[in-house]
Amino acid sequence: MDILGYLRIWRQRWKVVFAAVLLGIVCAAGVSALTQPQYVASTQLFVTTTGGASVVEAYQGNLFGKERVLSYAQLASGKQVAQRAVDQLQIAMTADQLMSEVTAEPVPDTVLLDISVSNPNPAMAADLANAVALQTTQLVEELETSARGGSPAATATLVDDAQVPDSASVPNWTRNLLVGALAGLLIGLVAAIARDKLDRSVRSSDEAAGAAGAPFIGSIPGPGRGKSQGIPFGADQNATTEAFRVLRTNVLSSDGGRTSGAFVVAGPTSGAGASTLSLGLAAAVAESGRSVVVVDGDLRNRGVSKRIDMDDAAGLGEALTGSARVSELVLDTDVRGLHVLPAGSASDQSTKLLGGDAMVRIIKELASNFDLVLIDGSPLLAFSDSVVLANATDGVLVVAQANSTTTADIAAAAEKVTTAGSQVLGVALTGAR
């Protein structure tokens, strides 16, 4: 895969990357908040040797001093100096504890020695740094003085006293948050690619058609899920309206030109957008001058009825039980030529009657009065209602939500339809870009 492919994945999976970056920042902030603050106080020693009478001797003395700095760094961070410093300050600390807080480093190409002490108490950090520096100078003087007496060969002189630090050096919030963000970004980029590779959701028309084993009818923009209301067709929905017109053309031109008949619109699982597509497609067909009726055949979810505020109206449930005539239950909509048969009152009896002779008679009656009958069915994999209805119609238009419905679910739904003796008329996508 080239860089453009990775960029496409990261653009599509930006939420994964953003979530990982946010998590990295939160973790870094948590670690920083839980870390005990540490204050660092620093001082510096200057190493000198006995001066020479000539330039050569002075140069050799300077080299001698640089070599001595390396040794003095070991002394400053050693146990003997630490014990002396503890004894000097008379504090409740062991030499080993102080050694873990002391850092002694020579300044490159100089005879200077930096001594730093880290401690949760800023004042104590400064006192410890000064004590370590003082004890280092005294130990150097003792070691560099000959047993026969005289001046020491080298001395360490305190340059600056350690000052009480104003702010903690640990935790470094800026650095930690930056590291957390960068780590989260790296993890997010990798996770986005991994998720894309493992994702089996349908993302293109070819994938949808291949999984269903049927022609691709079209796609509409916008989410398949959500609480959108009304018929998704009109002047204020230009892109969506035009997509439904294309879908209408493809549906009416399939099988040599379908200008009449009945078929089921259903998704493999809930949330695919079958109700949205049913109403939008029906409105587009009605715009062409044909009379269309949408039947809310999903008596459990009642998607069409809820979307157009007909949830309380009598409908298919009453028609199935014979308590009302179909002609009395079909309602008009704001779209000329588009009618709706709501779900009505659903019961166990009416749900069972969906696969009986009563439903067949209802479909025939509607087909004789309208050019096209669209039945919004229940999810194909969850229930058998849509498959049963398909056997009384021309077939099923499978609806899948892009980047959500998996190709495996589409294939399983198509197989369920064909196994029952019906056919998949085509597959359409909702939520397409």
CATH of the domain at 397: 3.40.50.300
Cβ contact 11:172 at 8 Å? no
Cβ contact 138:54 at 8 Å? no
Query: Does 166 reside within a domain?
Result: no
Query: Does 167 reside within a domain?
Result: no
- 3-class DSSP assignment, residue 149: coil
Partners of 44 in the β-ladder: 114, 160
Query: Does 65 reside within a domain?
Result: yes
Token digits for 183? 């780590």
Same-domain pairing of 223 and 251:
yes
Q: Is the dihedral of CA 297, 301, 303, 307 positive or negative?
A: positive
Q: How far apart are CA 335 and CA 430, in angstroms?
A: 22
Cβ contact 204:80 at 8 Å? no
- Side-chain-side CA neighbours of 355 within 13 Å: the count stands at 10
pLDDT at residue number 115: 96
Same-domain pairing of 213 and 95:
no
pLDDT tens sequence across 164-201: 999 999 899 999 999 999 999 999 999 988 887 777 78
Query: Does 375 reside within a domain?
Result: yes
Same-domain pairing of 221 and 312:
yes
Same-domain pairing of 150 and 49:
yes
Cα 268 to chain centroid, rounded: 25
Sheet containing strand 396-401, edge to edge, reads 216-221, 424-432, 396-401, 261-266, 372-376, 292-296, 338-341, 331-332
CB atoms inside a 10 Å sphere around CB 249: 14
Average pLDDT over residues 48-67: 57
Is the pLDDT assigned to residue 67 strictly greater than 80?
A: no
Average pLDDT over residues 301-329: 92
Cβ contact 275:294 at 8 Å? no
Is the pLDDT assigned to residue 309 strictly greater than 80?
A: yes
Please give the single-letter amino acid code of residue 225: R
Is the pLDDT assigned to residue 55 strictly greater than 90?
A: no
Same-domain pairing of 119 and 176:
no
How many domains does one find in the chain?
A: 3
At residue 57 the predicted structure's pLDDT band, cuts being 50, 70 and 90, is: very low
Query: Does 384 reside within a domain?
Result: yes
Same-domain pairing of 257 and 193:
no
Partners of 221 in the β-ladder: 432
Domain holding 147, by residue range, is 39-160
pLDDT at residue number 149: 67
- What H or E segment, with its residue span, contains residue 255? none
Same-domain pairing of 368 and 425:
yes
Average pLDDT over residues 90-117: 93
Cβ contact 43:161 at 8 Å? yes
Cβ contact 296:316 at 8 Å? yes
Q: How far apart are CA 55 and CA 58, in angstroms?
A: 5
pLDDT at residue number 62: 56
Same-domain pairing of 410 and 267:
yes
Cβ contact 378:300 at 8 Å? yes
At residue 226 the predicted structure's pLDDT band, cuts being 50, 70 and 90, is: very low
Mean pLDDT of the chain: 88
Query: Does 294 reside within a domain?
Result: yes
- 3-class DSSP assignment, residue 116: strand
pTM for the model stands at 0.63
Return the ∠ at Cα 218 (arms to 215 and 222), rounded to 5°: 145
Token digits for 376? 């919004």
Same-domain pairing of 186 and 88:
no
Same-domain pairing of 212 and 66:
no
Query: Does 350 reside within a domain?
Result: yes
